[in-house]
Amino acid sequence: MSGIGKGVVTASLGAILKSCGFSVQIIKCDPYINLDAGTMNPFEHGEVFVTDDGTECDQDIGNYERFLNQNCSTHNLITTGRVYYTVINKERQMHYGGKCVEVIPHIPYEILRRIYLVRRLYKPDFLLIEIGGTVGEYQNSIFLEAVRLLKIRHSHDVFLIMVSYLPIPKNLGEMKTKPTQYSVRTLNEAGLTADMIIGRSEKSLDLPRKRKISVFCNVPIPNIISCPDASTSIYEVPIILEKENVTQQIFRYFQIRKKKADLTPWQQFINKKIKSFSREIKIGIVGKYFEIGDFALEDSYISVIEALKHAAFEWKCFPKINWINSEIFEKNPAETKNLKNYHGVIVPGGFGARGVEGKIKAIKFVRENNIPYLGLCYGMQLACVEFARNVLNFQDANTTEVNPNTKHPIIDILPDQKINLRMKNYGASMRLGVYDCLIKENSLAFQLYKQKLIKERHRHRYEFNNYYLKEFEDKGMVFSGINPQRNLIEIIELKKHPFFIGVQFHPELRSRPLNPHPLFIGFIKSTLNFNQ
Ligand code: GLN
């Protein structure tokens, strides 16, 4: 079922195999009709992650990148929508030569074509394919059918792992294997047999439990892997799995001579995290939030949270994150003074008008009170609007996303994006993926990145309006990063402030646990220097 950590398990297996010296690619099969995750509400579906090539996908791809410390591309994502879209288009082009095109076999064939494509493009030693959803449901059956065909074609090259949940009902206090037994049967009905079962549970699977699963599910005991909740971090999962000799069993199946996994970097990361607990820094993330609870919020902003942690552990401190609903500042502007209680404030990416005035009030407060500030995308745009209103005295300055009739459109839409909106062409049409950014020397950005040309990932439609550039500069704003091809503003910062930086892109998407992002490292460092 969803949420048991299939993504983390898959990514962790990839990380272990990579640490053995193998090259790894991972494909996510998502059983939804959307072509990508770009049109989905992050508060319902979780964060929209963006890859270098501008693919809008979900957090699993983010986890693959973080665990493998390598970039993914559009080829790493297969959705039901993508598969049907291609098949239907091919049918219109007479690709099937007048045949009746059917769900079986044409849909699984298209899935296989996409899998083979990754094999051909990247030639990985190991290709991991994660199938989303639950075995037995209607939605992902086309993917299971594709796996069945894969297994028939390459029986010795395909190893099937089932990730299964083992509940421990509170009233019993005992781990139950029955749901696993039944899901294995359901898998068998799809013509598949598991070569390995990874048991996800609150606690470790003991030997009696493993024996039981082995007998009822036809899997030898060494191939039943215990994967209890990690006590420190998801990045402990590779270590947990390898303690269970997961690679030994996989190598035995493929008859590969065993290579030793070197998980030292992950162990070092965990050690850093443990050390960080003694020093807490308070970070306020100001956004428009729905009443969905902290748990869902964590899902919607997972990359920001991850990036903060990666950087904070470098400084041996722990980021305590508070979600601050910007609407409270609209009802009661005096509340902004509570931002003094934070070591640093972030306004993350966002869309639409709700809560914007509150975010602007928050930015005004942190600017005037020298509180470290990091603005991510919308957070950068609104920092410009705030500056225009309160420093340049353009009272009604705004982004045209919120007020299309403002006299001072500080943030405005480019003509090509205007057409997209008029044509209701919303899918995959934002400014997406990596673009160049040239950094000015003698700037805070240069101090942090230590290089002149950087590439960062984008996901937005609106831009800083260069008409106002000079006036902003005269009053102390520095445009320290510019996209050279289109002359678009990428980074802003303030001279007279200990740490105030806004970026049009999403640095959080490129932060990795073993490779934290320089902007976040700088931000955390400034929060440590900030005396409340
Ligand atoms: N809504 C803004 C835009 O589309 C910012 C987007 C974002 O924060 N990702 O330009």
pLDDT tens per residue, the chain (532 residues)? 778 999 999 999 999 999 999 999 999 999 999 999 999 988 888 899 999 999 999 999 999 999 999 999 999 999 999 999 999 999 999 999 999 999 999 999 999 999 999 999 999 999 999 999 999 999 999 999 999 999 999 989 999 999 999 999 999 999 999 999 999 999 999 999 999 999 999 999 999 999 999 999 999 999 999 999 999 999 999 999 999 999 999 999 999 998 899 999 999 999 999 999 999 999 999 998 766 666 668 889 999 999 999 999 999 999 999 999 999 999 999 999 999 999 999 999 999 999 999 999 999 999 999 999 999 999 999 999 999 999 999 999 999 999 999 999 999 999 999 999 999 999 999 999 999 999 999 999 999 999 999 999 999 999 999 999 999 999 999 999 999 999 999 999 999 999 999 999 999 999 999 999 999 999 999 999 876 5
Residue 330: burial class (beta carbons within 10 Å; 0-12, 13-18, 19+) = middle
Which ligand 1 atom is the nearest neighbour of the CA of 351?
Answer: 1
CB of 311 within 6 A of ligand 1: the answer is no
Tell me if 366 sits within 8 A of 373, measured CB to CB.
yes
CB of 373 within 6 A of ligand 1: the answer is no
Alpha-carbon 406 to chain mean position: 34
CB of 464 within 6 A of ligand 1: the answer is no
* pTM, full prediction: 0.96
Spatial strand order in the sheet of 462-464: 398-399, 409-413, 462-464
- The rounded Å distance from CA 363 to ligand 1 centre is 17
DSSP helix/strand/coil, 423: coil
Tell me if 161 sits within 8 A of 62, measured CB to CB.
no
CA distance linking residue 475 with residue 481, whole number of Å: 18
Tell me if 197 sits within 8 A of 225, measured CB to CB.
yes
Beta-bridged to residue 284, according to DSSP, are: 322, 345
CA distance linking residue 183 with residue 313, whole number of Å: 39
Which ligand 1 atom is the nearest neighbour of the CA of 377?
Answer: 8
CA nearest ligand 1 atom 3, residue: 460
Q: What is the pLDDT of residue 45?
A: 86
CA nearest ligand 1 atom 9, residue: 349
Helices (H) and strands (E) in the chain, counts: 20, 20
CA nearest ligand 1 atom 1, residue: 351
CA nearest ligand 1 atom 8, residue: 349
CB of 508 within 6 A of ligand 1: the answer is no
Which strand (E) or helix (H) includes residue 37?
A: none
- The rounded Å distance from CA 172 to ligand 1 centre is 49
CB of 238 within 6 A of ligand 1: the answer is no
Encode burial over 355-390: b for 16+ CB neighbours within 10 A, e otherwise. bbbbbbbbbbbbbeeebbbbbbbbbbbbbbbbbbbb
320: left (phi over 0), alpha (psi -120 to 50) or beta: beta
CA distance linking residue 358 with residue 53, whole number of Å: 33
Candidate of 378, 402, 403, 413 to mutate for ligand 1, largest count of ligand atoms within 8 Å of Cβ: 378
CB of 401 within 6 A of ligand 1: the answer is yes
Which ligand 1 atom is the nearest neighbour of the CA of 463?
Answer: 10
CB of 458 within 6 A of ligand 1: the answer is no
- Per DSSP, the residues of 387-406 read HHHHTS--TT-EETTT-TT-
Residue 435's CB is within 10 A of a number of other CB atoms, namely 20
CB of 47 within 6 A of ligand 1: the answer is no
DSSP state of 57: E
Which ligand 1 atom is the nearest neighbour of the CA of 430?
Answer: 4
Which ligand 1 atom is the nearest neighbour of the CA of 413?
Answer: 10
- The rounded Å distance from CA 463 to ligand 1 centre is 9
Candidate of 304, 381, 413, 508 to mutate for ligand 1, largest count of ligand atoms within 8 Å of Cβ: 381
CB of 461 within 6 A of ligand 1: the answer is yes
Closest CA to 356 of 391, 336, 376, 385: 385
CB of 460 within 6 A of ligand 1: the answer is yes
- Cα 362 to Cα 84, 333, 359: the distances in Å are 46, 9, 5
* Residues with Cβ within 8 Å of residue 506, at least 6 apart in sequence: 50, 303, 349, 376, 377, 456, 457, 458, 459
CB of 462 within 6 A of ligand 1: the answer is yes
DSSP helix/strand/coil, 64: helix
Which ligand 1 atom is the nearest neighbour of the CA of 352?
Answer: 1
Return the structure tokens found at 176: 């139950």
Count of residues making up the chain:
532
Tell me if 201 sits within 8 A of 228, measured CB to CB.
yes
CA distance linking residue 292 with residue 486, whole number of Å: 39
Candidate of 417, 462, 488, 506 to mutate for ligand 1, largest count of ligand atoms within 8 Å of Cβ: 462
Residue 23's CB is within 10 A of a number of other CB atoms, namely 14
CB of 377 within 6 A of ligand 1: the answer is yes
Beta-bridged to residue 76, according to DSSP, are: none
Rounded to 5 degrees, what are φ and ψ at 261?
-75, 135
Q: What is the pLDDT of residue 299?
A: 85
Question: Which residues are tagged catalytic?
Answer: 377, 506, 508
Residue with tokens 């806004």: 502
* Residues with Cβ within 8 Å of residue 3, at least 6 apart in sequence: none
Q: What is the pLDDT of residue 142?
A: 97
Which ligand 1 atom is the nearest neighbour of the CA of 506?
Answer: 9
- The rounded Å distance from CA 458 to ligand 1 centre is 9
Calculate helix-pair angle for 378-390, 356-368, nearest 10 degrees. Answer: 70
Tell me if 521 sits within 8 A of 501, measured CB to CB.
no
DSSP helix/strand/coil, 409: strand
- Per DSSP, the residues of 442-489 read TSHHHHHH-SSEEEEEEEESEEE-GGGHHHHHHTTEEEEEEETTTTEE
Q: What is the pLDDT of residue 105?
A: 96
